[in-house]
Amino acid sequence: MGLKLTSHIEDYLETIIMLHKKKRVVRVRDISRKMGLSMPSVCAAIKVLSKNGLVNHEKYGYIELTKQGENLGERIYDSHKILIKFLKEILNTDFRTAEKDACKIEHGISGNTVKRLIAFVKFVETCPHPEGADWLKSFNYFYKYGKRPKEGKVRKIREKS
């Protein structure tokens, strides 16, 4: 099972998955707009995806995901989502930064690391309240003031930059 895609090509696949979830039908133009790339660039990428059996596409038609393409795309998209979650909900970075960073990070990261990250996010989310308050709130306090909150000290801390 070779199938070596570049991270750029994976980006296209991920975008197709995302569009597919919303639109049911995906065209070159949609991808082009979403990714901010020219249509010829998209065309070229589609050809590569097609050659690798990840999409079906006949000239001037819609772009359909094959089963394989859907599987791989979902996997990539899952990494994306977990990263976003980690960046936004745990590190508490702002939305735009999280999106930008996730895109940079997600490719090439090993499956195992993603698995661990997923577990980690779950672990943190289900964390009991060890310090008399929510664990994540404690982190935000820590980030802001450089020290841990005293028992019962944490209220709401909104700090996004």
Q: Write out the residues near DNA by the rule CB under 7 A.
A: 6-9, 27-30, 32, 36-41, 43-48, 57, 59-61
CB nearer to DNA: pick between 7 and 71? 7
Q: How far is the CB of 95 from its own copies (least distance, A)?
A: 13
The closest of 114, 79, 85, 111 to 98, measured between CA atoms, is 85
Q: Is residue 149 a contact partner of residue 133, using CB atoms and an 8 Å limit?
A: yes
Q: How far is the first Cα of the chain from the last one, in angstroms, to the nearest whole number?
A: 43
Alpha helical stretches, state H, 52-91: 67-85
| Binding partner at 6 among its own copies, DNA, none, C-beta below 5 to 8 Å by kind | DNA
Least distance in Å: CB of 96 to DNA?
Answer: 20
> Of these partners, its own copies, DNA, none, which one is at the site of residue 148 (CB under 5 to 8 Å by kind)?
its own copies
Dist. CA 110–CA 90, nearest whole Å = 20
Binding mask 74-113 for its own copies (x = CB under 8 A): -------------x--xxxx---xx-xx--xx-xxxx-xx
Among the listed ranges 17-25, 27-35, 38-46, 139-147, the one in contact with its own copies (CB under 8 A) is 139-147
Contacts of residue 78, defined as CB under 8 A and 6 or more positions apart, other chains included, come to: 114
Helix (H) or strand (E) holding 102: helix 95-106
- By the rule CB under 8 A, 152 interacts with its own copies: no
Complex with its own copies: residue 30 or 131, whichever CB lies closer: 131
Nearer to DNA, 8 or 160 (CB): 8
Burial of 48 (C-beta count, 10 Å sphere; 0-12/13-18/19+):
middle
